[in-house]
A and B are shown apart, each in its own frame.
Chain A
């Protein structure tokens, strides 16, 4: 088994994001105040309240059930949430905190999803799977939906291990080069009347950032000529209501920019399998320039001259190391998309716009 040394997301954080996907109103992290801090801040930007039970040394020694009961009652009274998720942390799970028992004793009116998970429970996707199982057991999502998503998450983990950031012992983060060379390559191809295939294979909310490339390339085509093909995992009929909303928002905005001819590969939570469909569609198109944004390594049969756009500095390093020299990073995407309901501008998109407007060649 490959030993992976660089830091990577853990099941606690994946569990919190999955609760957000389920539209819970409030998440309680049962653990020390700092646990999951950076992720919590982002989730709060997405409109979820994130609370901590703020475990201290004495709670480790004596148990913190009372503390959790108290926090449950307080948030139920002060924020009247409909649904609350409780996420275990390394600290609470090592000492054997009984989340179910605390929920029962608290006796509050909100529906509570207690998720027995901690940082050492394997791949980050295991955290998401535990949330889905709890949600299914409470009747919040249908069992078949839980099973479908579990299959996706298992596949995503396998792809990461095979060719993503857990395929390498160490990856140094990289911000990559500027986007100018790639933007020039795209505009040159359009001027010469060539075909550009833009593929979105993005994970959930990050699609709000990557979808901007469709808009920029469309604008460039109108000014310079050429042909474009759009492929995207934006099926608005697949996934949890929140995730379908993302597709709805993005398709609406793309429509507003005159982009309606889009080949759909699957839903926003189907990126591990939608990548294979996207690769088939790309094979059928035979475009001179291929742009793949989101999680490009989910696509088989990538070409060395493909333009790969991602938001993770380590993923970017991984692509560059493997010889994909046209890889660029949208490093701030993940933070920028958290509170949006419409497509946001991307760096590559803005670079293409500037190249077209100022007629750089």
Chain B
């Protein structure tokens, strides 16, 4: 059972990439689970035709038993779980993730599953947000970034977290923001932290069009160039053998790298 976690700066496209990866894996016949960890609980929507599902923690709050949670069946049988969380400004979202991940592991996950994708919120800010990386859970991380400074800064910070936790990075995914020299900048960054770029996803309006219809690109535009790119990214992730604990850079070195690449003064 492969368990991967997708991290990256807020708004960078983790959920889009996670959902399309899940759809691609399911299409190949893999028994695939998608676990959304964002309290907004919207990550799985494109796998479920735009439907928002009740969250694991909502049910728990109402006194439901862990084992009674109904896992949603998405595109091509992808099993979808949204962890959910407290209202903004209340309780502790981190604790929610810890509790839910433990419960999922105990009640739902078994050896028949081929791959679990954890779509994790923004950054590894505390013990709770790192919960999917604990022993027995996800053991391989992919970081989504663009060539923008703040994205790489967040990616670097996540590497700091992985370094602290002793968790392996499988590689970086560049979700293009169409900045200059983007692919090679991210590629160089990846090498500098001791990793590699596993895929480049160019910006394409088909993604938004499909999202508006409540579909992944794999489902909504299966023959599009973008769908092929997501499938290829999935293959490279599946084939990925090399993973290692990254060594984060000094933030000023990231600026330096970008300045040189883009020729800005």
* Chain A residues within CB distance 8 Å of chain B: 63, 93-98, 100-101
Contacts and interface: CB of A to CB of B under 8 A. Distances in A.
B127 A101 contact: no
A96 B128 contact: yes
A136 to B, nearest CB: 16
Nearest to A98: B134
Contact of A94 (B95, B130, B135): B95
A219 B102 CA distance: 56
Contacts of A97: 127
Contacts of A93: 98
Contact of B98 (A63, A96, A101): A96
A96 B131 contact: yes
Interface in B92-136: 92, 94-95, 98, 126-128, 130-131, 134-135
A101 B94 contact: no
Nearest to A97: B127
B135 A95 contact: no
Nearest to B127: A96
A232 to B, nearest CB: 38
B1 interface: no
Given A101-B165, A101-B166, A95 B126 contact: yes
Contacts of A101: 134-135, 165-166
Contacts of B126: 95-96
Nearest to A100: B135
B139 to A, nearest CB: 13
B95 A96 contact: yes
Nearest to B130: A96
A interface SS class: loop
Contacts of B134: 98, 100-101
Contacts of B92: 94
Contacts of B127: 63, 95-98
A95 B98 CA distance: 9
6 contacts: A93-B98, A94-B95, A95-B127, A96-B98, A101-B135, A101-B166
Nearest to B129: A96
Contacts of A98: 127, 134-135, 165
Nearest to B128: A96
B164 to A, nearest CB: 9
Nearest to A61: B126
A94 B95 CA distance: 6
Contacts of B94: 95-96
B245 to A, nearest CB: 13
A287 to B, nearest CB: 45
> Which interface residue of A63, A95, A96, A98 has the most chain B CB atoms within 10 A?
A96
Given A94-B95, A96-B130, 20 more contacts: A63-B127, A93-B98, A94-B92, A95-B94, A95-B126, A95-B127, A95-B128, A96-B94, A96-B95, A96-B98, A96-B126, A96-B127, A96-B128, A96-B131, A97-B127, A98-B134, A98-B135, A101-B134, A101-B135, A101-B166
A88 B196 CA distance: 38
Interface in B49-101: 92, 94-95, 98
Contacts of B166: 101
Contacts of A96: 94-95, 98, 126-128, 130-131
A233 to B, nearest CB: 33
A95 B93 CA distance: 11
A260 B250 CA distance: 77
A64 B206 CA distance: 47
Nearest to A121: B99
A331 to B, nearest CB: 37
A98 B128 CA distance: 10
A63 B127 CA distance: 8
Nearest to A1: B63
A120 to B, nearest CB: 10
